[in-house]
Amino acid sequence: MKTILFLFGGCSTEYEVSLQSAHAVLQALDHSRYTPLAVGITREGRWLRYGGPLFHLETGDWEAQPDCVPCALSLDRGDLRLLWLDGSGRSEPFDAAFPVLHGKNGEDGTVQGLLELIGAPIIGCGALSSALCMDKDRSHKLAALAGVRVPRGHLFRRGDDAGEIARAAEALGYPLFVKPVRSGSSFGVSRVAAPEHLAAAAEEAFRHDREILLEEAVPGFEVSCAILGSTALTVGAVAEFQVEGGFIDYGEKYADGGTLRIYCPARIPPEKATEIQETAKRIYRCLDCRVFARVDLFLTPWGELVFNEVNTIPGCTPHSCYPGMMQAIGLDFQTLVSRLVELGVEA
């Protein structure tokens, strides 16, 4: 029986989302085949080996439980062990690692780099693809080289002239979007309808990253593709996102009472769904993704596909979009979790 190291929490604005995903994945894990080794990372960055009841992940008070032990990974390559830092000298071996982390300091290649350094098989994308997919500007550049249309945009760094930002916005035309280059769950993203709101939107985006992207507002709606695999790829049913105002922010994604509506399968012709799936696979491969990821695109009123982003660790609850797209092709959540672990361990 293999032991799987699960990482959850993290120094990210998506900390709570990670707890919900980890709770669901740990519940769905096939315990007849795999032994979980759960490690939570607090908002402050402390690593704690957690052996308590799973419901404390849902309630968010897991780190206050007596079952927490300070811990760290052995950094000797090939020595896959979790070291207890309580003075006992105890350690626990593991066979592979599943980072159930979202956003910065978890989904952006940082944790994946650590795991690659020690030679741990990763259930998910590696360091390079994780970093690229988190970076909206550089992932767009690579997708464009692969022949996929991307939104028109301009990159700016902290300290750049405000006049240049204003002129770039005028050239793109309003409305437009201002985004941190590296951020998840739409944190720091603003839809700007007029020039007088641009400065505040840029300031908000710079709160989340040192680089920001001004991007054209692509007409139409967002579609999404769940992809599973490393060599042979399984693609879920295409999902369609509809929201009032056309902007899916953090509240629309996770808060009750939002206007976001998800249709899976998407309300589009079968041939268009096939085109979306093939385009998503091209993006997945060109960004070096493996095991699983969710590819999001825009579908314009005239049927053109425009790349938006890739989520390398999408939400992993039974009600999240990625499992829903896989459910639509017959992969239930428990089976999906088993396939994810199998793919990561095999790689």
Residues near 111 by Cβ (< 8 Å), separated by ≥ 6? 7, 10, 99, 101, 105
> Do β-strands 96-99 and 2-9 pair in parallel, antiparallel, or remain unpaired?
parallel
Known catalytic residue at 18:
no
The SS3 assignment for 261 reads strand
- Closest C-alpha among 311, 309, 220, 217 to residue 267: 220
| Identified catalytic residue from 254, 275, 282, 338 | 254
Strand ranges (E), the chain? 2-9, 34-41, 47-50, 68-73, 81-84, 91-93, 96-99, 153-157, 176-180, 190-192, 211-216, 221-229, 233-235, 239-242, 261-263, 292-299, 305-311
Instruction: For residues 321 and 141, give the distance between their C-alpha atoms in angstroms, rounded to a whole number.
Output: 26
| Identified catalytic residue from 9, 10, 12, 14 | 14
Q: What are the tokens at 43?
A: 């908002």
| Identified catalytic residue from 109, 294, 324, 344 | 294
| Identified catalytic residue from 315, 320, 322, 344 | 315
| Identified catalytic residue from 18, 139, 185, 186 | 185
| Identified catalytic residue from 296, 308, 322, 324 | 296
What's the one-letter identity of residue 214?
Answer: L
Phi, psi of 282 (to 5 degrees): -65, -45
Burial string for 137-149 (b: 16+ CB within 10 Å, else e) reads bbbbebbeeeebb
| Identified catalytic residue from 309, 320, 322, 344 | 309
Known catalytic residue at 311:
yes
Known catalytic residue at 170:
no
> Do β-strands 34-41 and 47-50 pair in parallel, antiparallel, or remain unpaired?
antiparallel
SS3 sequence, 208-256?
Answer: CCCEEEEEECCCCEEEEEEEEECCCEEECCCEEEECHHHCCCHHHHHCC
Known catalytic residue at 14:
yes
| Identified catalytic residue from 12, 183, 311, 320 | 311
Mind telling me the catalytic residues? 14, 185, 254, 294, 296, 309, 311, 315
